[in-house]
Protein backbone atom coordinates (compact mmCIF):
# COMPACT_ATOMS: atom_id res chain seq x y z
CA UNK A 1 0.00 0.00 0.00
CA UNK A 2 1.44 3.36 -1.01
CA UNK A 3 2.23 5.74 1.83
CA UNK A 4 -0.16 8.67 1.57
CA UNK A 5 0.93 12.10 2.75
CA UNK A 6 -1.67 13.01 5.36
CA UNK A 7 -1.65 16.70 6.12
CA UNK A 8 -4.26 18.65 7.97
CA UNK A 9 -4.31 22.37 8.53
CA UNK A 10 -4.90 22.27 12.28
CA UNK A 11 -5.55 26.02 12.53
CA UNK A 12 -8.34 25.75 9.95
CA UNK A 13 -9.73 22.65 11.66
CA UNK A 14 -9.69 24.38 15.05
CA UNK A 15 -11.49 27.42 13.65
CA UNK A 16 -14.15 25.19 12.07
CA UNK A 17 -14.71 23.40 15.38
CA UNK A 18 -14.73 26.54 17.56
CA UNK A 19 -17.70 28.03 15.69
CA UNK A 20 -19.78 24.87 16.35
CA UNK A 21 -22.26 24.82 19.27
CA UNK A 22 -20.07 22.20 21.04
CA UNK A 23 -16.42 22.54 19.90
CA UNK A 24 -15.10 19.52 21.85
CA UNK A 25 -17.80 17.23 20.46
CA UNK A 26 -17.04 18.50 16.97
CA UNK A 27 -13.34 17.70 17.43
CA UNK A 28 -14.21 14.23 18.72
CA UNK A 29 -16.39 13.59 15.66
CA UNK A 30 -13.51 14.59 13.38
CA UNK A 31 -11.09 12.32 15.27
CA UNK A 32 -13.48 9.35 15.11
CA UNK A 33 -13.95 9.87 11.35
CA UNK A 34 -10.17 9.89 10.82
CA UNK A 35 -9.73 6.74 12.93
CA UNK A 36 -12.46 4.89 11.03
CA UNK A 37 -11.01 5.82 7.63
CA UNK A 38 -7.54 4.65 8.69
CA UNK A 39 -8.90 1.41 10.15
CA UNK A 40 -10.94 0.56 7.03
CA UNK A 41 -7.97 1.36 4.76
CA UNK A 42 -5.81 -0.97 6.86
CA UNK A 43 -8.46 -3.72 6.80
CA UNK A 44 -8.89 -3.51 3.02
CA UNK A 45 -5.24 -3.01 2.17
CA UNK A 46 -5.87 0.15 0.15
CA UNK A 47 -6.90 3.77 0.63
CA UNK A 48 -10.26 5.04 -0.60
CA UNK A 49 -10.35 4.99 -4.45
CA UNK A 50 -6.84 3.50 -4.60
CA UNK A 51 -6.08 0.66 -6.99
CA UNK A 52 -3.79 -1.90 -5.40
CA UNK A 53 -2.83 -5.51 -6.01
CA UNK A 54 -2.94 -6.19 -2.27
CA UNK A 55 -6.54 -4.98 -1.89
CA UNK A 56 -8.63 -7.50 0.05
CA UNK A 57 -12.05 -5.89 -0.29
CA UNK A 58 -14.03 -2.85 -1.40
CA UNK A 59 -15.92 -0.01 0.20
CA UNK A 60 -19.56 0.60 -0.65
CA UNK A 61 -20.60 3.88 0.91
CA UNK A 62 -21.39 4.92 4.47
CA UNK A 63 -24.09 4.32 7.05
CA UNK A 64 -25.09 6.82 9.73
CA UNK A 65 -24.70 5.64 13.33
CA UNK A 66 -25.37 7.36 16.61
CA UNK A 67 -22.71 7.29 19.34
CA UNK A 68 -23.57 8.45 22.86
CA UNK A 69 -20.66 9.80 24.92
CA UNK A 70 -20.29 11.88 28.07
CA UNK A 71 -19.64 14.85 25.80
CA UNK A 72 -22.98 14.33 24.07
CA UNK A 73 -24.53 12.45 21.18
CA UNK A 74 -22.74 12.45 17.86
CA UNK A 75 -23.68 10.99 14.52
CA UNK A 76 -20.92 9.20 12.65
CA UNK A 77 -20.78 8.18 9.02
CA UNK A 78 -19.36 4.66 9.34
CA UNK A 79 -17.73 3.26 6.17
CA UNK A 80 -19.42 0.16 4.71
CA UNK A 81 -17.38 -2.76 3.40
CA UNK A 82 -18.81 -5.18 0.80
CA UNK A 83 -17.57 -8.43 2.30
CA UNK A 84 -16.87 -9.08 5.95
CA UNK A 85 -18.40 -5.89 7.28
CA UNK A 86 -16.82 -3.25 9.47
CA UNK A 87 -17.47 -2.14 13.02
CA UNK A 88 -15.21 0.60 14.44
CA UNK A 89 -12.89 -0.61 17.19
CA UNK A 90 -14.40 1.88 19.63
CA UNK A 91 -17.96 0.60 19.09
CA UNK A 92 -18.98 -3.00 19.69
CA UNK A 93 -21.84 -4.51 17.74
CA UNK A 94 -25.26 -3.21 18.83
CA UNK A 95 -23.70 -1.04 21.54
CA UNK A 96 -23.35 2.51 20.38
CA UNK A 97 -22.21 4.16 23.58
CA UNK A 98 -19.15 5.02 25.56
CA UNK A 99 -20.02 2.14 27.90
CA UNK A 100 -19.02 -0.29 25.14
CA UNK A 101 -15.57 1.32 24.91
CA UNK A 102 -15.16 1.15 28.69
CA UNK A 103 -16.12 -2.56 28.68
CA UNK A 104 -13.46 -3.32 26.07
CA UNK A 105 -10.78 -1.51 28.10
CA UNK A 106 -11.82 -3.25 31.32
CA UNK A 107 -11.83 -6.67 29.65
CA UNK A 108 -8.31 -6.15 28.27
CA UNK A 109 -7.06 -4.90 31.65
CA UNK A 110 -8.39 -8.04 33.43
CA UNK A 111 -6.98 -10.33 30.74
CA UNK A 112 -3.50 -8.80 31.00
CA UNK A 113 -3.42 -9.11 34.79
CA UNK A 114 -3.93 -12.93 34.65
Tell me whether residue 76 is in a domain.
Answer: yes
Its pTM stands at: 0.69
Tell me whether residue 84 is in a domain.
Answer: yes
Tell me whether residue 34 is in a domain.
Answer: yes
pLDDT tier at 13, thresholds 50, 70, 90: confident
3 secondary structure, DSSP code: P
Count of domains forming the chain: 1
Domain coverage including residue 44: 10-88
d(CA 92, CA 67): 11
pLDDT at site 97: 63
Tell me whether residue 32 is in a domain.
Answer: yes
Tell me whether residue 58 is in a domain.
Answer: yes
Query: Which one is predicted more confidently, 113 or 70?
Result: 70
Tell me whether residue 98 is in a domain.
Answer: no
Q: What is the pLDDT of residues 25-49, one digit of tens each?
A: 998 899 899 999 999 988 888 887 7
Dihedrals phi, psi of 92, to nearest 5 degrees: -85, 160
Tell me whether residue 109 is in a domain.
Answer: no
Tell me whether residue 17 is in a domain.
Answer: yes
pLDDT at site 54: 80
**How does DSSP assign 62-113, residue by residue?**
EEEEEEEETTEEEEEEEEEESSS----TTSBTTB-BHHHHHHHHHHHHHHHH
Amino acid sequence: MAQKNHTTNLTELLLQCVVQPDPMLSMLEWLCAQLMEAEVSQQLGAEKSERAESRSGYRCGYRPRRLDTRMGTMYLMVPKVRQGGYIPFFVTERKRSEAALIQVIAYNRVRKSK
